[in-house]
Chains A and B, each alone.
Chain A
Amino acid sequence: MSPDPYSDRVRELFARPGHAGVLEGNCSAAVVDQGVKIRLTAHVRDGRVEAMAFLAYGCPHVIAAAEAACAELEGRSAVELLEFPATGLMQSLSVPVEKTGRILVLEDAVRSLGRVITEMD
């Protein structure tokens, strides 16, 4: 049988995206590119992300990456969001090379959220 295009982790994150939704507040960022739409919202206190949520239109890897990014970035500072690299997610989720552009859309959205938080301070 040819290999499954989705790793177990992608399947798990796609099936149960606990961070899917919208958090009410002023911290939000959205990016549309490469056929992908991502909206991130966050609760921020003292310059750090307390909670983060996403909405996404995209392939399973995009949805899984958005879920993983939200989980990973809670507790991080705005500066860390501004420097967020998607390469770690691409590796941990075994994102195929033809989809890396889509995950970079998520990277753009995270950095955009970082800028929003920075401007609020």
Chain B
Amino acid sequence: MIYLDYAASTPVDPAIIDAMSAAMAAPGNYANPSSTHSEGRQSIDLISAAAERLAALVNTSPDRLIWTSGATESDNLAIFGAATYRQDRGRHLVSMRTEHKAVTDPFATLAKRGFEVTWVDPEPDGRVDLGKLESVLRDDTQLVSIMHVNNETGIIQDIGGIGALCRDRGILYHVDAAQSCGKLPIDLDALPVDLMSMTAHKFYGPKGTGALYIADRKGVHVDPMLFGGGQQRRLRPGTLPTQQIVGFGETAAIAAQRMNQDLAHLRALRDRFWAGIRDLPGLVVNGSLEHGFPGILNVSAEGVEGESLLLALEPLCVATGSACNSKSQEPSYVLRALGRSDELAQSAIRFSFGRPTTDAEIDAAVELYRGAVTRLRQLAPVAA
């Protein structure tokens, strides 16, 4: 098995497993972090330390972070929470069709509830044109949500530029950073970003834990979606999962130390892989090598059927689209939004690389991909 699906999820770093195990095993750590007795205070100390570590990774204050179950919940809380809190200001929302379903589905739901949603079309490489974005912003626009790194193509959006457009107009800007947190430098103290969704399992942390950053700025607030306790300023009540949050904190601390080294490693892997396959005719990069996160390379192959390609690539573990969509036979809506035909979108494979990926694995993946594409093209009628 060669795992090249790190954009879907990553193996948990052994140091993080150790930290989580210790958080569960140490006497007293089982106590409810909301309790005021000594054991409870011990648990909340662990959570506070984790918040310090995550805050340091993205350069913000720990009290700006709300713990959630993952990026999907963070996205939902940010979008529903901000839209309802600010609906008196306006009911116009802006996003892109290339966003993750955790963003597009909440927007589609809000549209059914009387909000108006404008979807900005991406440029051919997937980036948003700031002029086009500016042209759709209105006096009653109250929220823009555009992700940092696209989960299918790896394209990196100019979140500083987008945020500046929003801030000039008093519009809230939400960023889904599920694919970038811990992988690319993020300075929330400097960025004009109001809400940011993060998750641990995309960068070697545990599943089941995420966070939402809420800027300390007038007018930036979300209505809660859950009710039933006073935890986390009533914005996200519920008993905090100490060991998960400790794991997220450790994940952040390791990422902060390794980010430059990880990025150099990913770039070398991506370039090695692309150099190995680029001479095959009829390949189309979905996204951009220049403007993409180096951990993701999405490639379509003309004349090759995607499901057969995926089977022919075994034992390679890759994705035909978003992992959340992988059981669907439908071509990726993200790639369709980039203008790809159904056939080309359906032939797309997302290769995503990670810390443990080796040159030998890349070379084996190159050989498998070349062989599979060549065989399936030989099998296909040129014109039926």
Picked from B303, B308, B378, B381, the residue with its CB within 8 Å of the CB of A59 is B308
Chain A: interface size category:
20 to 34
- A98 adjacent to chain B (CB < 8 Å): yes
- B129 adjacent to chain A (CB < 8 Å): no
A residues near B303, Cβ cutoff 8 Å: 57
CB contact list, B284-336 vs A, under 8 A: 303, 305, 307-308, 311-312, 329
A residues near B312, Cβ cutoff 8 Å: 14
Is B308 a contact partner of A58 (Cβ separation < 8 A)? yes
Is B307 a contact partner of A60 (Cβ separation < 8 A)? yes
Q: State the Cβ distance, B336 to closest chain A Cβ, in Å.
A: 14
- A31 — nearest CB in chain B belongs to which residue? B384
- A55 adjacent to chain B (CB < 8 Å): yes
Contacts A59-B305, A59-B308 known; A37 to B379 CB distance under 8 Å? Answer: no
Q: State the Cβ distance, A6 to closest chain B Cβ, in Å.
A: 7
Contacts A35-B342, A98-B329 known; A57 to B381 CB distance under 8 Å? Answer: yes
- A30 adjacent to chain B (CB < 8 Å): yes
Is A63 a contact partner of B308 (Cβ separation < 8 A)? yes
Contacts A37-B384, A38-B384 known; A55 to B379 CB distance under 8 Å? Answer: yes
- A111 adjacent to chain B (CB < 8 Å): no
A residues near B329, Cβ cutoff 8 Å: 98
Please count how many residues in chain B sit with their CB below 8 Å of the partner chain's CB atoms.
15
A residues near B342, Cβ cutoff 8 Å: 35
A residues near B381, Cβ cutoff 8 Å: 30, 37-39, 55-57
Q: State the Cβ distance, B321 to closest chain A Cβ, in Å.
A: 15
Is B311 a contact partner of A37 (Cβ separation < 8 A)? no
- A17 adjacent to chain B (CB < 8 Å): yes
B residues near A60, Cβ cutoff 8 Å: 307-308, 311
- B226 adjacent to chain A (CB < 8 Å): no
Q: State the Cβ distance, A25 to closest chain B Cβ, in Å.
A: 16
How many residue pairs, one in A and one in B, have C-beta atoms under 8 Å apart?
46
B residues near A51, Cβ cutoff 8 Å: none
- A86 adjacent to chain B (CB < 8 Å): no
B residues near A98, Cβ cutoff 8 Å: 329
- B225 adjacent to chain A (CB < 8 Å): no
CB contact list, A50-91 vs B, under 8 A: 55-60, 63
Main secondary structure of the interface of B (DSSP, over half): helix
Is B384 a contact partner of A58 (Cβ separation < 8 A)? no
Is B308 a contact partner of A32 (Cβ separation < 8 A)? no
Distance A20 CA – B378 CA, assembled complex (angstroms) = 9
- B327 — nearest CB in chain A belongs to which residue? A5
Is B384 a contact partner of A14 (Cβ separation < 8 A)? no
Is A14 a contact partner of B308 (Cβ separation < 8 A)? yes
B residues near A39, Cβ cutoff 8 Å: 381, 384
- A56 — nearest CB in chain B belongs to which residue? B379
CB contact list, A1-35 vs B, under 8 A: 6, 11, 14, 17, 20, 30-32, 35
Is A37 a contact partner of B307 (Cβ separation < 8 A)? no
Q: State the Cβ distance, A107 to closest chain B Cβ, in Å.
A: 15
- A37 — nearest CB in chain B belongs to which residue? B384
Picked from B308, B346, B380, the residue with its CB within 8 Å of the CB of A37 is B380
Distance A90 CA – B380 CA, assembled complex (angstroms) = 21
Q: State the Cβ distance, A22 to closest chain B Cβ, in Å.
A: 9
B residues sitting closer than 8 Å to A (CB atoms) are 303, 305, 307-308, 311-312, 329, 342-343, 346, 378-381, 384
- The 5 A-B residue pairs whose C-beta atoms are closest, nearest first, are A30-B384, A57-B380, A39-B381, A55-B381, A37-B384
- Supply 30 A–B pairs (Cβ within 8 Å), ascending by A: A6-B311, A11-B311, A14-B308, A14-B311, A17-B379, A20-B379, A30-B381, A32-B384, A35-B342, A35-B343, A35-B346, A37-B380, A37-B381, A39-B381, A39-B384, A55-B384, A56-B380, A56-B381, A57-B305, A57-B379, A57-B380, A57-B381, A58-B305, A58-B308, A59-B305, A59-B307, A60-B307, A60-B308, A60-B311, A63-B308
